[in-house]
Amino acid sequence: MPERIYDLQFDDYGNTRAIKVAARGIDAMRNSYINKASAFTEEERHDLGLYGMLPPAVRSLDRQTRNSIEKVERKQDDVEKFIFIRSLFDRNVTLAHALIQSNIAEYMKIIYTPTVGVACQQYSSMFRTAHGIHFFPGNIDDAEKILGTFAHRDIRVAVVTDNQGILGIGDQGAGGIAICLGKLMLYTQGAGIAPWHCLPISLDVGTDNEALLEDPNYLGWRHRRLMGDEYMSFVKRFADAFKAVFPNALCQWEDFSQQTAFDVRDAYLEDLISFNDDIQGTGAVALSAVMAATRIKEEPLENQVFLIYGAGAGGIGIAEQIEAGLMTQGLSERDARDRIFTLDRLGLVTLTNFERDYQKKFARDPQTLPWLREPQDGKLINVIEKARVTVLIGTSGQTGHFTKEAVEAMLANSDRPVILPLSNPTDRCEATPEEIVHRTAGRALIATGSPFPPVEYGGKSMQTGQCNNVFIFPGVGLGVLASGAKKVLPSFFADAAKAVADAVPLEDLRAGVLLPPVEAIRGVSQKVALAVGLAAIREKVSGPCAFSTFQHNNEEHRLERLIEKMQWQPRYLPLLAVADG
């Protein structure tokens, strides 16, 4: 089947308003962006040569969606549901997104964490249909040509992984692209970026996962991972090609290993419109939860003392965003860092024991901490007590480490301590909300990385907000695109965090909930996009938006209107039959 069987027809806001189709008959139904299955109209059936290929009744999208809901709910487990939704996406993108939108809180757990982790692990055995691009040493020199085959889709966002740091399960080789697919589905659900504008990309530089290397069914490049200069040269060849083909597209780096995540992000801050969600998105959503908590506590952000338990990419990303948040309150960089402590497997990260370069800027000088004299002084409970920590954040991936003693130490420092066990999946969480609620008599302000059921305590049902990056990255992407931003700045994430915190309903704040409900993702993403777009204008990195001729003398109103109008909804578009070529 030829790749280019359709073209997109845009309005002044960059939204696709119709699809011009050159394909006829079965080829039209085989393309998932065009296919409407039983919903092709009488006119479309005539113009696209579909008479006799479909039963005569025309079924509405709403009816199709209800039927799909019934089918997916009959599946026995989440993996079966995942397979059903992905297969539906392979056949009919619009219907798949209409299904997901019907219950985003439920289906997000299927298309992304935690179920997508299984899809990564079983990628080769579950493989049915190719999506996106797999670059490996055998084709990376043709990267520009390969990317060019997707130019007709007007790619606006790419999620790119090297497959090494997948969720909490590590190196998954070629299977990591399932993460990119899931993330882009959330870009569509949250920010309304049409699925044909999204491109998942795997940088398959090999794998050190022995099970994959020995698996005869493994589909990836069956070699040990490239390292050092070879690895960075590979990434550079990709980045150069991506910039040449899609100079205005956003590149989101996803699930790189810890040091590599910082190396790649920092190498392309100026050369690509890019960011790393595991670092900056994680940091921003954690800062959102803390900002909401300070509103509940009625205490300034700059009065808090922060301890991040787990000094990997996510933990240091959180430290970076907290530092940025504190600096917006008037603190100097030095004063902001003095309020942030990080711990890893060796205890408190200091200038004498940090293991990775990216940890250094938050490593503490032992000479400034009179209570730090012996190695055991840098352990969790002692740091909580001596540093008077009021905000405890877990990114360690170590279950049960927020013990009864640690939580009680937090209570000694604050009447309403903020405790965020963010490690995923749920069986790696530092403590469950139920444990923390009971250990603090319901006084702690809690958010988690994974969804947890409500906790029954004191005759009340207590909800726990989820620190999910989905509140950040779709809106950041939409704000970058709407403003025409030429780079992604740290200030974008501080402003995004505040927008998310401000989006928590007042009644939820009163109940101690620190994040908006997942069902509000579309509205929250619009608020984040506006904050990011205005930051781009303020920081003078915005450019003329390629998607709109709409003008207004009030820049904020123009941007708000553009953000509202450029979002795609899962509704069938008109199909216009055109001659091939």
Where in the chain do CATH 3.40.50.10380 domains reside?
112-272
pLDDT digits (tens, 9 = 90+) for 266-283: 999 999 999 999 999 999
pLDDT digits (tens, 9 = 90+) for 312-341: 989 999 999 999 999 999 999 999 999 999
> E strands along 281-355, which residues?
306-309, 340-344, 347-348
Q: Looking at residues 31-48, what average pLDDT do you find?
A: 96
Q: CB–CB of 121/169 below 8 Å?
A: yes
Residue 235, token pair as written in the block: 């990434």
Q: Looking at residues 422-426, what average pLDDT do you find?
A: 85
**Pairwise CA distance, residues 204 & 472, whole Å:** 27
Q: How confident is the model at residue 548 (pLDDT cuts 50, 70, 90)?
A: low
Q: Is 81 a residue of the active site? A: no
pLDDT digits (tens, 9 = 90+) for 204-222: 999 999 999 999 999 999 9
DSSP designation for 455: E
- Given this model, what pLDDT does residue 545 score? 62
- Given this model, what pLDDT does residue 557 score? 87
Q: How confident is the model at residue 414 (pLDDT cuts 50, 70, 90)?
A: very high
> Is it the case that residue 554 has pLDDT exceeding 90?
no
Q: Looking at residues 555-564, what average pLDDT do you find?
A: 89
Q: What is the pTM of this model?
A: 0.94
pLDDT digits (tens, 9 = 90+) for 130-155: 889 999 999 999 999 999 999 999 99
Q: Which of 70, 113, 122 lies closest to 255, judged by CA?
A: 113
Q: Of these residues, 183, 243, 498, 527, which one is catalytic? A: 183
> Is it the case that residue 169 has pLDDT exceeding 90?
no
β-strand partners of 157: 198, 250
- Given this model, what pLDDT does residue 334 score? 96
Q: How confident is the model at residue 2 (pLDDT cuts 50, 70, 90)?
A: very low
Q: Looking at residues 353-362, what average pLDDT do you find?
A: 93
Q: Of these residues, 112, 123, 218, 231, which one is catalytic? A: 112
Write the burial class of residue 448 (CB in 10 Å: 0-12 exposed, 13-18 middle, 19+ buried).
buried
pLDDT digits (tens, 9 = 90+) for 438-467: 999 999 999 999 889 999 999 999 999 999
> Is it the case that residue 382 has pLDDT exceeding 70?
yes
pLDDT digits (tens, 9 = 90+) for 282-297: 999 999 999 999 999 9
Q: Looking at residues 414-426, what average pLDDT do you find?
A: 92
CATH of domain 280-468: 3.40.50.720
Express as a percent the part of the chain with pLDDT over 70.
97
**Pairwise CA distance, residues 251 & 158, whole Å:** 5
Q: Is 243 a residue of the active site? A: no
**Pairwise CA distance, residues 343 & 360, whole Å:** 12
pLDDT digits (tens, 9 = 90+) for 498-525: 999 999 999 999 999 999 999 999 999 9
**Pairwise CA distance, residues 175 & 127, whole Å:** 9
**Pairwise CA distance, residues 24 & 370, whole Å:** 77
- Report the top-level CATH class of 112-272: alpha beta
β-strand partners of 40: none
* Sheet bearing 133-135, strands edge to edge: 133-135, 198-203, 157-161, 250-254, 274-276
User: Can you tell me whether residue 387 is helix, strand or coil?
Assistant: helix
DSSP designation for 51: T
Residue 103, token pair as written in the block: 């219950």
Greatest Cα pair distance in the chain: 83
Q: How confident is the model at residue 1 (pLDDT cuts 50, 70, 90)?
A: very low
CA neighbours closer than 13 Å in the CB half-sphere of residue 116: 24
Query: What's the mean per-residue pLDDT of the chain?
Result: 93
Q: What is the DSSP string of 109-133?
A: HHHSTTHHHHHHHTHHHH--S--SE
CB atoms within 10 A of CB 417: 26
**Pairwise CA distance, residues 554 & 559, whole Å:** 9
Where in the chain do CATH 3.40.50.720 domains reside?
280-468
- Sequence-separated (6 or more) residues with CB below 8 Å from residue 16: 8, 9, 10, 194, 196, 568, 573
Q: Which residues of 204-221 are buried (b: 16+ CB within 10 A; e: fewer)?
A: bbbbebeebeeeeebbbb
